[in-house]
């Protein structure tokens, strides 16, 4: 039988995977400058970690998790997001014992069972950062600035930033009652998801992409902030202004996870259908203690790489393609084949991308292969060239040829780079 990849997944093949490598290298470089160190956590964790860390009333936990029982009878879940696992690692490895702020980043696959569409997969990839150990609103602004810098450096055009404050759990509890009073008369007009959320997590209703027309005049959480929360939010804004990072305040922005406190933010960009969010995050001051650690603060984000790539492609951005060899060896005859293997290895040791034929094809077919791979040079070696201790180097763009001493080939290729 012919096997196919699972629904909602993709094969990243040569010619495409280089675009991913480009994004990942940019992410690592930006994190290096901001002093964030890489962390790699398991792709599956105890199910309870996500139930407690993400929130039992979220769509992720209720509908989208890939959960299974292992051979020991334990409930395990493929990670649907990155923060909970990083927080677990932070607690388990007692990173909170460091007197300095702990700043971490991750890049890797996440898993959610949802209907695939443009920019949304069941196995998708995120670049995320988490910073622990400070309540300073300047750290919120730094996290946002890192994401903003990443988008700038990959060449993304026209992206925007929306911010909000979601206060504290106590503030949200009081706001919840006022919001329910506003929503109750509209309940029959709302979509199925919103009617369900009204009973469990009404703040999520305001974030619905379907029912926005019914929310005009809705109460704003920003009007319910206490002095501490309002001051924190004002300072985040002042730091963003100092860094010349433009933003809009969206009082309906609450994000889809239960652990946020104070700052919440999203980056948005057109070009992925009805979805416009390409990344987001916020502060989560109670999450570390929720998963068994001390009272410790945190702030971070997660950016979807599939969505970023889709927007870049729709914008016509110039993205890396498959590696092109500097030189393609064309060997004619058994003795030349043996020497070509030696030369091929020698130039690769010098850092030069090189290829040769392994099909025993004639010279014309080998040169066609060099053209298909977009090699810069063909290095042609036969019996006559071996006797002279030379190899013919042909520029495939101009057709110009020159004889190069065999022991000088690598140096000549390096000169031409």
Would residue 5 count as lying in a domain? no
Q: Which of 55, 115, 99 is nearest to 81 (CA)?
A: 55
Same domain, yes or no: 283 and 349: no
What's the token pair of residue 382? 């036969």
Spatial distance between the Cα atoms of 313 and 395, rounded to a whole number of angstroms: 32
Structural domain including 392 reads 327-416
Spatial distance between the Cα atoms of 203 and 56, rounded to a whole number of angstroms: 15
Would residue 9 count as lying in a domain? no
Q: What is the pLDDT of residue 182?
A: 86
% of residues, the chain, pLDDT over 90: 70
CB-based contacts of 174, cutoff 8 Å, min separation 6: 224
Q: What is the pLDDT of residue 107?
A: 98
Give yes or no for residue 274 having a pLDDT over 70.
Answer: no
Would residue 351 count as lying in a domain? yes
Would residue 182 count as lying in a domain? no
pLDDT band at residue 299 using 50, 70 and 90 as cut-offs? very high
Q: Which of 254, 287, 314 is the last residue of a domain?
A: 314
Same domain, yes or no: 231 and 259: yes
Mean pLDDT of all residues in 282-302: 92
Type and span of the H or E element at 49 = helix 47-54
CA angle at residue 163 from 157 to 167, to 5 degrees?
165
Mean pLDDT of all residues in 186-197: 80
Q: Which of 279, 314, 349 is the last residue of a domain?
A: 314
pLDDT band at residue 209 using 50, 70 and 90 as cut-offs? confident
Spatial distance between the Cα atoms of 156 and 309, rounded to a whole number of angstroms: 9
The total number of structural domains that make up the chain: 2
Q: What is the pLDDT of residue 256?
A: 61
Buried b (16+ CB within 10 A) or exposed e, 381-398: bbeebbeeebbbbbebee
Query: Which has the minimum average pLDDT: 74-83, 87-96, 102-111, 212-221?
Result: 212-221
Q: Which of 291, 314, 337 is the last residue of a domain?
A: 314
Mean pLDDT of all residues in 175-192: 83
Same domain, yes or no: 385 and 245: no
Buried b (16+ CB within 10 A) or exposed e, 143-152: bbbbbbbbbe
Model-level pTM? 0.90
Same domain, yes or no: 135 and 281: yes
Q: What is the pLDDT of residue 203?
A: 78
Give yes or no for residue 58 having a pLDDT over 70.
Answer: no
pLDDT digit string (tens) for 14-51? 999 999 999 999 999 999 999 999 999 999 999 999 88
Spatial distance between the Cα atoms of 187 and 195, rounded to a whole number of angstroms: 6
Q: What is the mean pLDDT of the chain?
A: 91
pLDDT band at residue 189 using 50, 70 and 90 as cut-offs? confident
Same domain, yes or no: 301 and 341: no
Give yes or no for residue 57 having a pLDDT over 60.
Answer: no
Same domain, yes or no: 116 and 251: yes
Query: Where are the strands (E) in 31-182, listed by range?
Result: 37-38, 44-46, 67-69, 75-78, 102-111, 123-132, 160-165
Same domain, yes or no: 157 and 46: yes
Same domain, yes or no: 264 and 391: no
Same domain, yes or no: 24 and 103: yes
pLDDT band at residue 228 using 50, 70 and 90 as cut-offs? very high
pLDDT digit string (tens) for 303-322? 999 999 999 999 999 999 88
Q: What CATH number has the domain bearing residue 367?
A: 3.40.50.800
Same domain, yes or no: 355 and 253: no
CA angle at residue 80 from 74 to 81, to 5 degrees?
120
């Amino acid at each position: 039988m012919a096997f196919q990849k699972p629904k909602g997944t993709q094969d990243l093949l040569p010619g495409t995977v280089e675009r991913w490598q480009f994004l990942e290298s940019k992410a690592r470089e930006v994190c290096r400058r901001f002093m964030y160190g890489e962390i790699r956590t398991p792709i599956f964790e105890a199910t309870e970690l996500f139930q407690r860390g993400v929130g039992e009333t979220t769509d992720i936990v209720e509908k989208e998790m890939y959960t299974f029982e292992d051979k020991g009878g334990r409930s395990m879940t493929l990670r649907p997001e990155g923060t909970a696992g990083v927080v677990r690692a932070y607690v388990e490895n007692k990173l909170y014992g460091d007197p300095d702020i702990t700043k971490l980043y991750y890049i890797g696959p996440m898993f959610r069972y949802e209907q695939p569409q443009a920019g949304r997969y069941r196995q998708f990839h995120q670049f995320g950062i988490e910073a622990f150990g400070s309540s300073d609103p300047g750290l919120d602004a730094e996290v946002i600035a890192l994401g903003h810098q990443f988008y700038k450096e990959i060449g993304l055009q026209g992206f925007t930033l929306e911010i909000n404050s979601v206060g504290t759990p106590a503030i949200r509890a009081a706001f919840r009652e006022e919001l329910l009073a506003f929503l109750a008369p509209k309940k029959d007009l709302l979509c199925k998801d919103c009617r369900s959320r009204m009973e469990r997590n009404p703040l999520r209703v305001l974030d619905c992409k379907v029912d926005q027309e019914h929310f005009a005049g809705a109460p704003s959480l920003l009007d319910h902030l206490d002095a501490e929360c309002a001051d924190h939010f004002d300072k985040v804004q002042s730091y963003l202004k100092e860094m010349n990072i433009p933003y809009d305040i969206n009082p309906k922005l609450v994000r889809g996870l239960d652990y946020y406190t104070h700052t919440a933010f999203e980056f948005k960009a057109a070009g992925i259908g009805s979805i416009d969010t390409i990344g987001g995050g916020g502060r989560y001051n109670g999450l570390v203690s929720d998963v068994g650690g001390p009272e410790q603060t945190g702030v971070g984000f997660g950016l979807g790489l599939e969505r970023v790539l889709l927007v870049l492609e729709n914008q016509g951005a110039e993205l890396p393609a498959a590696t092109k060899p500097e030189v393609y060896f064309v060997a004619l005859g058994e003795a030349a084949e043996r020497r070509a293997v030696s030369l091929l290895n020698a130039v690769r040791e010098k850092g030069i991308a090189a290829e040769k034929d392994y099909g025993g094809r004639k010279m014309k077919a080998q040169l066609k292969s060099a053209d298909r791979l977009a090699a810069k040079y063909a290095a042609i070696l036969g019996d006559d060239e071996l006797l002279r201790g030379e190899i013919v180097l042909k520029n495939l763009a101009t057709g110009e040829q020159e004889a190069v001493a065999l022991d000088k080939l690598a140096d000549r290729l390096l000169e031409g780079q």
